[in-house]
Amino acid sequence: MMIKRTRQTRNESPGTTEKKPRYGFIAIRPFLTIGIVGVAGWMVAITGILRLEGLGRWVTLTVAGMIGIIGTWVAVSYIPLYFLVLRPRGNENFWANQFTKHGISGKLVAIDAGCGTGQVTIEVAKALPDAHVTGIDIFKGMSGTSPGQPTRNAKIEGVSDRVTFKKGNLLDLPFPDNSVDVVTVGSVLHEIDSDENRKAALEEIKRVLKPGGYFFTVELLRDWRMILAMLVFAPVWKTGKYWKELLLNAGYSSLDVGLETRMLNMGVYCMQK
**Residues forming the site for ligand SAM (CB under 6 A):** 113-116, 119-120, 136-138, 140, 142-143, 169-171, 186-188, 191-192
Q: Which is nearer to ligand SAM, 212 or 235 (CB)?
A: 235
Which is closer to ligand SAM, CB of 167 or CB of 241?
A: 167
Q: Tell me whether strands 180-186 and 209-220 are parallel, antiparallel or unpaired.
A: parallel
- Of 21 and 71, the one with the shorter C-beta distance to ligand SAM is 21
Nearer to ligand SAM, 115 or 127 (CB): 115
Nearest approach, Cβ of 42 to ligand SAM (angstroms)? 29
Residue nearest to ligand SAM (CB): 116
Q: Which is nearer to ligand SAM, 53 or 193 (CB)?
A: 193
Please state the closest distance from residue 120 (CB atom) to ligand SAM, in A.
Answer: 5
> How near is the Cβ of 86 to ligand SAM at its closest, in Å?
7
Radius of gyration of the chain (CA): 22
Residue 156 C-beta: closest distance to ligand SAM, Å:
16
Whole-number minimum distance, CB 174 to ligand SAM, in Å? 11
